[in-house]
Copies of this chain bind each other. A is one copy, B any other.
Amino acid sequence: MVTRVGILTGGGDAPGLNAVIRAFVKFATREYGWEVVGVEDAFNGLMESPRRLQILTPVTCRGLLHRGGTVLGTTNRGDPFAWQERDGSISDRSQELADAVRDEGLAGLVCIGGDGSQRIALRLMQEMDIPVIGVPKTIDNDLSATDCTFGFQSAVDIATDALDRLHTTAESHERVLFLEVMGRDTGHIALTAGIAGGADIILIPEIPWDPARLADKIRRRRSSGRPFSVVVVAEGALPISANGLSDTERKARLKAAGGAGAIAMAELEGKVDHEMRLCVLGHLQRGGSPVPFDRLLATRFGACAVELVAQGRWGEMVALQSGSVDGVPLEEAAITRFVDLSGNLMRTARAVDVEFGG
* A31: chain B residues within 8 A (beta carbon): 351
**Interface window among A64-72, A79-87, A208-216, A244-252:** A64-72
Query: How far does the Cβ of A223 sit from chain B's closest Cβ, in whole Å?
Result: 14
Given A69-B169, A195-B299, A322-B322: A157 and B291 interface contact (C-beta under 8 Å)? yes
Q: Is the CB of A287 within 8 A of B166?
A: yes
Query: How far does the Cβ of A114 sit from chain B's closest Cβ, in whole Å?
Result: 14
Given A173-B74, A277-B282, A283-B277: A352 and B67 interface contact (C-beta under 8 Å)? no
Q: Is the interface of A mostly helix, strand, loop or mixed?
A: helix
Counting chain A residues whose Cβ lies within 8 A of the other chain, the interface size class is 35 or more
| CB of A94 closer than 8 Å to a CB of B | no
Q: Which of B197, B225, B289, B353 contacts A292 (CB 8 A)?
A: B197
Query: How far does the Cβ of A168 sit from chain B's closest Cβ, in whole Å?
Result: 3
A153-B292, A164-B287, A169-B286 given; name 19 further pairs at CB < 8 Å: A12-B173, A31-B351, A68-B167, A69-B167, A70-B172, A74-B173, A147-B323, A161-B288, A162-B284, A164-B288, A167-B287, A177-B283, A195-B296, A196-B293, A196-B295, A279-B280, A279-B282, A280-B280, A306-B351
Nearest 7 pairs of A and B residues by beta carbon: A69-B168, A68-B168, A165-B287, A165-B288, A303-B351, A196-B292, A69-B172
Residues of A within 8 A of B (CB): 9, 12-13, 17, 22-23, 26-27, 30-31, 59, 65-70, 73-75, 147, 153, 156-158, 160-162, 164-169, 171-174, 177, 192-193, 195-198, 225, 277-284, 286-289, 291-293, 295-296, 299-300, 303-304, 306, 322-325, 343-345, 347-348, 351-353
